Amino acid sequence: MTLFEAIILTIITASTPLLIAAIGELVVERAGVLNLGVEGMMIIGAAAGIAAAITTGSSTLGVLVAVLAGMALSLVFAALVLGLAANQVAAGLALAILGLGLSGVIGAPFVGVQRAGIGKIEVPLLSDIPFIGSVLFHQDPFVYASIALVVAVWWFLTKSRAGLVLRAVGENHAAAHALGYPVRRIRLLAILFGGGCAGLAGAYMSLVLTPFWSSGMTAGRGWIALAIVVFASWLPFRAMVGAYLFGALTILQLHAQSAGVPLPSQFLAALPYLITILVLVLIMRARRGGAAGPASLGVPFVPDR
Amino acid sequence: MRLVMEKRTETPISLMLISPLIAVALTMISAAIMFALLGKDPGAALYTYFLDPLSDSWGLQEVAVKATPLVLIAVGLAACYRAKVWNIGAEGQFLFGAMAGGYVAIITHGSTQGPWLLPVMLLVGAMAGACFALIPALLRTRFGANEILTSLMLVYVAELLLDYLVRGPWRDPAGFNMPNSVVFEPEATLPLLMAGGRLNIGTPIMIAVVLGFMLLMGRTLKGFEIRLVGEAPRAARFAGFSEARLIITVFMISGALAGLAGVLEAAGTIKQLQPGLSPGYGFTAIIVAFLGRLNPIGCLFAGIFIAITFIGGENAQIMLRLPLDATRVLQGLLLFFVLACDSLLLYRFRLIRGAAA
Amino acid sequence: MNITRRHLMAGSAGLAGAALAGQQAEAQSRLNVGVVLIGPVGDFGWSHMHDQGRRRMAEVLGDRVNATTVESVAPPDFDRVVTQLVRTGHRLIFTTSFSYFAPTQRLAPQHPGVFFENATGPTTLPNMAIYNARFYEGRYIQGVIAARKSRSKTIGYVATFPVPEVISAINTVMRGAWSVDPSMKVRVVWVNAWSNPAREADAARALIDQGCDVLCSHTDGPAPLQLAEQRGIFGFGQASDMTRFAPRAHLTSSVNNWGDYYADRAKAVLDGTWRATDTWGGLGSGMFRMAPFTNMTPEEVSEATRIRDAIAAGTLHPFEGPITRQDGTVVIPAGRRLTDDEIRAQNYFYQGIDVAMP
C-alpha cells in the first residue's frame, strides 16, 4: 500500500462522521429549521450506541439504538420548535447541552470497557484491484451508508415531489401552508431524519473509529458538521466536498507533522479552519452574490388557521 | 378537534413576569425527579443548587464574578441577534481580547507600571475583540460568506493562537517551561471591591454596560436601526439604513464586549494567560442572550441565573456527589422549559372543533 | 552557622507542623479529602486515573476518609471550587494539573490549616506539596523494547502538547532505544489535546502510514493502541493496563497508581505527620508500575525486566550524561546527571531526534 493510498483511506474514515451528520442537518435546514443541537445528538448516539453494543454484544443493535437515541433527542427539539414555535437557535443549544449531559450519564458505566470495532466489508474480487480496490470496495459499512445517504438526499431533494415540497416549505412556509401542505409534519420528519443521521455519525465514532467510550469523544465534530452545511450552500454533493476537504486538511496536517514539516503544530492544526474559510470566500466570489440559505431558515412557523 | 396557536397582539405584563417563574418551577420539579432517580434527596439537592450559592456574602460575590463575563458577552450578542446577525464566535473574540490585554501586562511586567495600566489593558482588550470580530463581518459584507461558519472557525484559530503564544513567545521564562505567561503584577490585575470574596471592578463595569445598552437599544436611533434591520429588513433599506454598515457595527460591538470580558477574566480571576482560559463563556453567553430574550436587562437576570446553576453544580459535586453531567442535564432542562413557557407569551393556545380549513 | 533557605523552610514547616499537630490532637475522626480534576471522570485518561486513585484511597482507608471529586474545573472557577472545599471542611486537597499550580500557590497561604497537593507542579510551600510519577522511567523501558521489536527502525510518538514532560518523555524513549540500536529514529505528531480519541487514532494512522511500526502514546487513552492492533504493529499503553485493547499489539503499559500515594498522604494528615514534600516517585516507589510484558520473546522479557529492576533500584539512570542538544551543544558531560529541576524544565530534543522543536 502506498503512502498516498494510506492517506486516502485515513481521510475517508476521518470525513465520514462529518458527512453523515452534515447530510442529515442539510435536510433539516432545507426544510427551514436550524438545528444547532447536532453535537448533542451525535454524542448521545455515540454513548447509547456503545452502551447497547456492549450490553447486548451486538453491533447492529448498537447502531440501531444510536440512531434511535439521536431521533429521540431531536424529537424533543421538534416539540419545542414545531409544537411551541420556540426560538430555534436557543432550542438547539438546549439540546446540545442536554445531549452532552445525558451522554455522560449513559456512558459512565462503560468507561474503559473494550469492544471490537465493526469491521470492513470486503467486496469479493473487486477489492483486490490495486488502489481502487481498497479505496472503493473495502470499507466499513458506514462509509457506504454515507455515500448512499448523499445520493439519496440529492435524488430526494431534486428529483422527487416530496423533496420539492420540502424545499418549498423551507423557502416560504406561509405559501406552502396556503397550498395545503402539512408544514409541521414535513419539518418533523426532516428533524427526525437529521437526528437519526447525527446519531449514526456518533455511532461511527464509538463503534468503528475508536471502539470505546470516553466523555466528550465527539470533540466538537457536530459543530464542524454545521459549518459544512453552510459551506456546501445547502447542496448535497457540495456537503460531500466540504466534509472530505475538512477531513483531508485535518489528516494532512497530522501527516505534515509526522514528516517533520518545521511549522508550529498549532499553525498546522489551524489550517483546516483557515482554509475552509478561504475556500468558502472563493466560492462566494465565484458565484457573485452568493446563495443565502432557505429563506425561511430559522423562522418559527405558526399556522394562521 | 385540534390545538391551535394564535399569535397574540399584545402580551399582558402579568404573563411576562409569570412565564419565567413557571419555567423555573418546572425545572425544579423535573430536577427533583432526576435527583431522586439518582438516589439523592431532592430537597437537599435543590437547596444546594439554587439557594446555597446565595447564602452568604462570599457566595453572592462568586455569583457576580461568574455572571460578569456571561452578561457582558450576552449583551453584545443580543444586539447582534436582534439584527439577525449570527455571531457564533464570541468565544474567539473573548480569547483574542484576553490575549491582547494580557500582552500589555506581559510587556510591562517588571518595569514601571502605574494606574494607567489597567484602563489601557481593558481598552486594548476591547479593541482587539472588536477587530477580531471585524473579520467575519467583512467576509459577510464583502463576499456574502455566512458568518455562522466564519465566526465559528475563527474560534478554533483563536484557541490555537493562544496555545502557541503561551507555549512559545509569551511563556514565563521562570515558569519551568510550563505553558503559562508570567503571573500579572498587582497593578495589572483588577482591584477587589470588598474583603471576603473575589468581587472586582468587572462587575460594576458589567452593570454600566447593561444600563448603557438599555439606553442604546431602547432610546437611540442606532438601537432602533438594529431592531428594524432584524425584524423588517426591507423597511430598513427604505429608511436608508445600510445593512452592511450595521452588520459591521453590531459585530464590532459584540466583539468589543467579548474582548473586554476576556481581558477582565485574564486580569481578574486568573491573573495570567494560559490555555483553557475560558470554560466556554462565549457559547454559554449565546444561551444567556436567548434566555434574556435578547434585551440587556433580561441578559442580566439570565446571566445571574445561569451562573447560579454552574456554581450550584460545583456545590452539588462537592456536597452531594452528583456528577457534572447532572448539572448539564439540569441546564438543558432549564433552557427547554424557559423556551416552552416563552411560547405562552407570544402565542395563545386554543382548542378548535371541526376539521382543518 | 549558615542559615540557609532550606533550614528556614524546614524550621517553619516544623513549627507549622507542630501547631497543626496540636490542632489535630483533637480527635481526627474523618478526613474530608477533595480531588480537583481538570477533565471529566469519564475521559478514561488523566482525570479518570486520578479518580481511580481517589477510589483506591477510599478503599484503603475506609471510614477514615470522605473523598470528593470535582470534575472539569476550568482555571477561572478553580479558586471558587477550592474555597468551597475548604469551607465545607476538606482538609486535604489534591489539585491534579499544572494549570492549577499558580492558583494553588496563591491559595495555599490563605488557608494555612489546609494541606494542598499539586500534581506535576515544580515547587512547594509550607502547606503545599507536589507530586508526580517518573513516567520517563517507563519510557526508557519502552524505548528498549521498541528497538528490539521495530523492523523499520522508526518509533511513532503520539504526543499531546510541547511541554517539558512530553519532550523529556520522547527524549527518554529514544535514549532507551539507542541503548539497543543507535540508528533508531522517531516521528512525532502533536494532537494538541489531552483527550481526543478520534484525532489520536488519526495521528496514529499518519505515523503508521509513514513507516513507524512501534507506537508510543502520551495521551492516556487506548486509541493509538487500538490502531496498532488493527494495523498489526506493536504499541504501548499508558496510564492503565491496556492489554485487553490490543491483545496482539500490546507490549507493556505504564500503569498509574495514584491511590496508594493518596492513601499515604491522607494517613499522614490523620496521624499529624504531613509534611510539604516533593514526591517524584519512580518505579521503585510504587507510584507507577509496568504492566506485564506481552507479545515478547523470553529474552526480550528478561532484558526488559532486568532494565526495569535496575531503574527501580537506582543503578540505571535515564538522564545520565553525556546529553547533547540537537544543535550539538553539550548539556552535561559523561559522569554527570541531570537534576530533577533540569529534567522538569527540559525543552530541547536530543541530538539524533529529527523533530523540529515546535
Q: Round the average pLDDT of chain C to a whole number and report it.
A: 87
Cis previous bond, A236, omega within 30: no
DSSP E strands in chain C: the ranges are 31-36, 65-70, 90-95, 115-119, 128-133, 154-159, 185-190, 214-217, 234-239, 250-256, 278-281, 288-290, 323-324, 330-332
The torsion angles phi and psi of A89, rounded to 5 degrees, stand at: -65, -50
Check CB contact of B176 with chain C, cutoff 8 Å.
yes
Sheet of strand C288-290: strand arrangement = C185-190, C154-159, C214-217, C234-239, C250-256, C288-290
% of chain C exceeding 90 in pLDDT? 56
Q: Under CATH, which number does the domain C3-133+257-281 receive?
A: 3.40.50.2300
Under 8 Å between Cβ of A91 and A77: yes
B349 bridge partner residues: B5
**Closest to C9 in 3D by CA, of C126, C95, C130:** C126
| Residue extent(s) of CATH 3.40.50.2300 domains in chain C | 3-133+257-281, 135-248+289-354
Give the closest-approach CA distance of C340 to chain B in angstroms.
11
Residue C345 has pLDDT above 80, yes or no: yes
Residue A282 grid coordinates: 472563493
Per-residue pLDDT tens for B200-255? 889 999 999 999 999 988 888 888 888 888 888 788 888 888 888 899 999 999 99
pLDDT for the residue B354: 62
Residue C118 has pLDDT above 90, yes or no: yes
Q: Round the average pLDDT of chain A to a whole number and report it.
A: 89
Contact C209 A266 (CB under 8 A): no
**Closest to A76 in 3D by CA, of A51, A48, A47, A97:** A97
Return d(Cα B123, Cα B126) in angstroms, integer.
Answer: 5
pLDDT for the residue A214: 87
C-alpha distances in Å from residue C24, one per residue of A65, C11, C64, C263, C273: 54, 19, 14, 18, 10
pLDDT for the residue C19: 47
Cβ partners under 8 Å of residue B257, min gap 6? B72, B73, B75, B76, B126, B129, B209
Under 8 Å between Cβ of B122 and B130: no
Contact A117 C202 (CB under 8 A): no
Check CB contact of C222 with chain A, cutoff 8 Å.
yes
Give the closest-approach CA distance of A281 to chain B in angstroms.
6
Side chain identity at B16, as an amino acid letter? M
R_g of chain A computed on alpha carbons: 20
**Closest to C274 in 3D by CA, of C67, C86, C17:** C17
Q: Among A237-241, A279-283, B84-88, B300-304, which is the least confidently predicted range?
A: A279-283
Check CB contact of A14 with chain C, cutoff 8 Å.
yes
Q: Residue B310: list chain C partners with CB under 8 A.
A: 77
Give the closest-approach CA distance of B329 to chain A in angstroms.
5
Per-residue pLDDT tens for B237-248? 888 888 888 999
Check CB contact of C72 with chain B, cutoff 8 Å.
yes
Chain C, nearest residue to B176 by Cα: C345
Select the residue of A214, A215, A265 nearest C358 (Cβ to Cβ).
A265
Q: Residue B312: list chain C partners with CB under 8 A.
A: none
- The DSSP secondary-structure symbol of C14 reads H
For domain C135-248+289-354, which architecture applies?
A: 3-Layer(aba) Sandwich (3.40)
Which subunits count as partners of chain C given 3+ CB pairs below 8 Å?
A, B
pLDDT for the residue B226: 85
Q: Residue C72: list chain B partners with CB under 8 A.
A: 279, 324
Q: Structure pTM?
A: 0.88
pLDDT for the residue C11: 47
B47 bridge partner residues: none
C-alpha distances in Å from residue C317, one per residue of C141, C313, C337: 11, 10, 8
Q: What is the mean pLDDT of residues C137-163?
A: 92
pLDDT for the residue C21: 46
Give the closest-approach CA distance of B2 to chain C in angstroms.
46
**Closest to C76 in 3D by CA, of A120, A206, B310, A138:** B310
Side chain identity at C88, as an amino acid letter? T
Residue, of B187 and C100, whose pLDDT is higher: C100
What do you get for the CA distance between the two ends of chain C, in Å?
Answer: 47
Contact C223 A257 (CB under 8 A): no
- ipTM computed for the complex: 0.86
Instruction: Give the helix/strand (H/E) hosting B348.
Output: strand B347-352
By CB atoms closer than 10 A (0-12, 13-18, 19+), residue A247 is buried
Residue A236 banded pLDDT, cuts 50, 70, 90: very high
Return d(Cα A6, Cα A12) in angstroms, integer.
Answer: 10
Residue C80 grid coordinates: 471558587
C-alpha distances in Å from residue C67, one per residue of A20, C31, C53, C85, C262: 43, 8, 10, 11, 11
Q: Among A48-52, B109-113, C291-295, C305-309, which is the least confidently predicted range?
A: B109-113
Contact C162 B270 (CB under 8 A): no
Buried b (16+ CB within 10 A) or exposed e, A12-25: bbbbbbbbbbbbbb
Residue C10 banded pLDDT, cuts 50, 70, 90: very low
Residue A107 has pLDDT above 60, yes or no: yes
Where chain B has pLDDT below 70, the residues are 1-2, 354-357
pLDDT for the residue C25: 41
Residue A233 grid coordinates: 450552500
Packing angle between helix B117-143 and helix B90-107, nearest 10 degrees?
140
Give the closest-approach CA distance of B269 to chain C in angstroms.
6
The torsion angles phi and psi of B254, rounded to 5 degrees, stand at: -70, -35
Contact C42 A104 (CB under 8 A): yes
pLDDT for the residue A265: 84
The torsion angles phi and psi of C347, rounded to 5 degrees, stand at: -130, 35
Select the residue of A80, A90, A270 nearest B160 (Cβ to Cβ).
A270
